[in-house]
Every structure is written in structure tokens, then in C-alpha cells.
Structure 1
Amino acid sequence: MFENFLPPLNEHNLPYPDTIHPIVVHFVIAMVLFAFLCDIIGYFTKNHRLFEVSWWNMFFATIAIFVAIVFGQIEAGLSLAYDAAESALNLHTLMGWTLSGIITAITGWRYVIRLRDSKTIPVSYLGAGLLLTVLVCFQVYLGDKLVWVYGLHTSPVVEAVKEGIL
């Protein structure tokens, strides 16, 4: 019924030239990690200007993660995930939604800290930043596994799944 309105899928099994999710998500990864780095350096050097840099990175990371999730959901749905890749894809999806909640909560907490005193940051917030960094690194591992081990959205894997080889 709706097939007539959908664009044709290419050799990556996508309606557009290449995956968009990794492009957007790399901004999120960079902003979250850089925010944590700025907080650590700012805490130990007492350079409160770095806290402002950290705040804005977390603010934009919070917006960008939802854009990354939208494209991630679209591309996961079109990925032709075969049995071996499904568990990693499901965990990556679950972690993405979980990270969106955690990043949003930490950004909200950061906003309250910023309103109260923009020149200091509690050690507990740094602990949350460290935990977030570990979770982001685990999510990166899962995403890398989906591309480099399972080859989702790569032309040879798409072709192999369509031919029934995988």
C-alpha cells in the first residue's frame, strides 16, 4: 500500500546515500567526552570558564542524542540484521535510549549546579560524568561491533542477506 510512496533502497539498504546515525552520534560522543574532560581540568585547575564550556557541550549533546536516536532507529529497522547480529543490535538500541535519559538527567543536574554557583562543581557530579564516560565507551564498542564485526549496512553484507547466505 505505502510502497509507492517510499523511495527505493540502495546497496546499503537505505533510502539515502549512506548512514546518517554514525555522523550525528560522533558529535554526541565528542561533546560528552569533551564536557567531562573540561569538568576534570576545570575542577583541578580552578578554571571555572571550563565549566561553561562543559555546560554547553552537554546541552548540545542532549539535543543531538535524540537526532542520533531517530536515525539510529530508522537505520536499525532497515539493517537486515541477521541472527548473529541481533543481540548486539538490540543491546545497542537499549543502551542508546538509556544514554539519552542519563545524558538528559545529567544535563538537567548540570543546569541546576550552574544556576546555584557557576564557579564550582561537586565531586559527585564528576563521578556521574565518569560513569557516563564509561557507558558511552561501552556504547561505542557496541556500535563498532555492529559495523566492523557484523557489517550492518555494508554492501557485501546487505547483498549476502538478500541472497540468503546469512
Structure 2
Amino acid sequence: MLDNFPFLNDHNLPYPDTIHPIVVHFVIAMVLFAVACDVIGYFTGNERLHEVSWWNIFIATISIFIAIIFGQFEAGLAQPYEQAQSVLSLHTLIGWSLSGILAAVTAWRYVLRRRNPKKIPFSFLGMGLVLTAVVFVQVYLGDKLVWVYGLHTVPVVEAIKEGVLR
């Protein structure tokens, strides 16, 4: 089917390289930094770190949807072969789930911020650790798609086009 799109490059993309990893690394950094700021702010009493955390988690929530849009688009163009399909499907499922979790955590954080911007409950820190764990699982799966299965790498794209991988 993708043979009908002559504008795809040797990475099977209509632009020079994948955009999903760029945006998603931004999200990963912001989520981890937000959790770290909340943990440090909680134990040191530094209220300004809670404000930093809020803005990081807020921007990360917007950015994750941009990452998902590019991820879905690039996954479709990757023509994943059979061995990679299950990992890609799990990565997609967790990605969509993570967007919902992140949106819920951000909404919770917003309510907490409106009530008392200088303090967060310990239970919110626990949710931050759960969020961090889900992010790490997602990072592992994304790394596996690139470094093990080689999606959007030139040799794998060529092998798929030549029919070596199905």
C-alpha cells in the first residue's frame, strides 16, 4: 500500500526523520522533572518547586497528545513486521493509557493547586511514583521498537520493501 506514496524517504517518512521520539522525550523529561520537584518540594518545604512541578506536568499533558499523534502516524508508516507488532500494539495501548493517566493526574494537581498551592498530600507523591513507573515501562517498549526491531531504520525499511521481513 505504501508503494503508492512516492514522497516517502528511506526511513519511510514524508519528513527527514521521526518526530515522535523528539516530542516524547520532551514529555518524559517534563514528567520526571515534575515528580522530582514535587518530591523535593514536599520534603524540603520549598513551595516554589510545587509551582515548577505544576507547569511541567501541565505542558507535558498537552505535549503527550502531540507525541501520540506523531506516534500513530509514524507507526502506520513503519509497516511493522510480525515480530514487532505485539510490542508496537502494547506501546500504543500504554501510550494512550498514559495520556489519560497524565490528564487525570494533571486535573488532580490543578484541584490541589487551587485549594492550596503551597502544599500537596503524600498520596499525590505516591501517584507520581506510579506515573514514573508507567513512563519507564513505556520508554522500555519504545527503545525496544527502535533498538531491537529497528522500526524506521534504513536497513529494516529496505528489508520490508524487499519482502525479507513480513
Fold equivalence (TM over 0.5):
yes
Q: Mean alpha-carbon deviation: is it higher for 7-16 or for 73-82?
A: 7-16
Structure 2: gaps of 5 or more residues: none
C-alpha separation in 1, matches of 2:11 and 2:81: 15
Query: What residue number does 1:96 align with?
Result: 95
C-alpha separation in 2, matches of 1:119 and 1:67: 30
C-alpha separation in 1, matches of 2:8 and 2:81: 18
C-alpha separation in 1, matches of 2:160 and 2:119: 54
Q: What are the superposed Cα offsets for residues 121-144 of structure 1, whole Å, 9 maximum, x if unpaired?
A: 101100100000000000000000
> Counterpart amino acid of 1:24?
V
Q: Is the 8 A contact 1:151 1:157 kept in 2?
A: yes
Q: Is the 8 A contact 1:52 1:118 kept in 2?
A: yes
Distance 1:11 1:113, change over 3 A: same
> Counterpart amino acid of 1:12?
H
Q: Is the 8 A contact 1:113 1:121 kept in 2?
A: yes
C-alpha separation in 2, matches of 1:98 and 1:163: 35
Q: Determine helix, strand or coil for the equivalent of 2:78.
A: coil
Structure 1: gaps of 5 or more residues: none
The 5-angstrom pairing of residues 1-166 of structure 1 reads: 8-166=7-165
Distance 1:7 1:27, change over 3 A: farther
C-alpha separation in 1, matches of 2:36 and 2:127: 13
> Counterpart amino acid of 1:137?
F
C-alpha separation in 2, matches of 1:20 and 1:51: 30
Identity %: 72
C-alpha separation in 1, matches of 2:51 and 2:34: 9
Q: CA deviation at 1:28?
A: 0.2
Which consecutive aligned stretches of 4+ in structure 1 deviate over 3 angstroms post-superposition?
Answer: none
Q: CA deviation at 1:7?
A: 6.2
C-alpha separation in 1, matches of 2:83 and 2:161: 15
C-alpha separation in 1, matches of 2:75 and 2:155: 17
Q: Is the 8 A contact 1:7 1:15 kept in 2?
A: no
> Counterpart amino acid of 1:136?
V
Q: CA deviation at 1:165?
A: 1.0
C-alpha separation in 1, matches of 2:7 and 2:57: 37
> Counterpart amino acid of 2:59?
F
